[in-house]
Amino acid sequence: MPKDFYTFLIVPKKNSAAKKIMISSTLLKGVIACFMVIVLATMYTYYDYIKIKREKIELTRLRQLTKDQKTQIDVLAGKVENFAVKMDELRQLDKEVRNLANFEDKQNKGQLLGIGGSPSLGNGVASHLEGDRKMVVASINKNVDQLMGDANDQVRSYGELIKFLKEQKSIHEATPSIWPVKGWVTSEFGNRVSPFGGGREFHKGIDIASRMGLAVVVPADGVVAEAAYDREMGHMVRINHGHGMTTWYGHLTRSVVKEGSMIRRGAVIGYVGNTGRSTGSHVHYSVFLNGIPVNPRKYLN
């Protein structure tokens, strides 16, 4: 038998005769080669099918992601637009508060802070929503940066307003606004005939006649600068209210405060007396502004 042939025996059943098939080595190699080609083609086709299926799944995911990103960009653009609207409202509020407080921004040559800006930022973003998403995102980032700058300006503006209002509150609290004692004025501020003879003199305050021993209160917040006895004023108290304002109270029967102590409007500082150079029970009340006596009547309500 030639060597380039292979013999295969096929026994179909137990009692059946065996069949013999002879196949040349060339044919066998060809069959094996075809089988390998079919197997490899099948594997490649299956791999390509899996790859396409994965790419389809990935494409679906990317489409969903793009849709979600579009939705997020739309929401973000809406928020930026709302932010711009709120900044406009804050600028208007800033203007109204400054007008009410009669306070201007000195660093900007009297211009009220918060006026101007970009009221159409949000509309600008919305107008590009149907365009290139990259351009939309870049526009949003630019507008957010601008709005952040406007927000920082508003923070500075409100900081100045708070500082100004605190100063105004401090001035209000330091400004005398009530009577130090209940009574009637027996001698006004200004030139008068001396009650002790000797011609005319300038009276630096007002004299408020009242019942002996009645409590005398401070008409504004301040610090006790002096509580002593003076030959002319008798028992007297001097209060420093800050902002260049001081008040004096003379002829007390006694004082009940100590130098350096802080007191609030309405606190008792002493009692009506007749000490020093006096003709009867009363309180001498003086107001000094930057060291100059002013009429206390301006500060009596």
In this predicted structure, the answer to whether residue 294 has a pLDDT above a threshold of 90 is: yes
Segment among 59-63, 202-206, 267-271 with least mean pLDDT? 59-63
Is there a contact between 238 and 284 (Cβ–Cβ < 8 Å)? no
What are 230's two structure tokens?
Answer: 């003076």
pLDDT in tens, 183-242: 999 999 999 888 777 678 899 999 999 999 999 999 999 999 999 999 999 999 999 999
- Say what percent of the chain tops pLDDT 70: 85
**Around Cβ 242, how many Cβ atoms within 10 Å?**
15
Cα(119)–Cα(238) distance, integer angstroms: 55
Give the residue from 288, 282, 221, 213 showing the smallest Cα distance to 248: 288
Q: DSSP character for 116?
A: -
